[in-house]
Amino acid sequence: MTRKKRILTWVAGVAVALGIYIWFFGDATFWMISTRWMEHKSPILKEVPTELTDHSQSTAIGEPLSYLGYSFSTPWGEVDTSKAKEFP
């Protein structure tokens, strides 16, 4: 086998292997590379969460509401139902 034929065989083999890889893992590879690029581009993603300085909770008395079995209290007083929109 001549040197030219051997090199052409290796290039064809690598091209076939690369094509198979792209066929099965092309989407996942694309999204992994694009998210890593976005991480390097956006400095806000490098921020580390810190402890809050204000741990106080509101003592305001709100109106208790219930919806779908969940009960909660609004942080404001009485809700003005005349301005509230209800959907069926």
- Answer yes or no: pTM beyond 0.75: no
Residues in the chain, pLDDT under 70: 58, 60, 77-79
CA of 47: how far to CAs of 6, 34, 36, 62, 63, in Å? 52, 20, 16, 35, 37
Domain parsing of the chain, residue ranges: 3-43
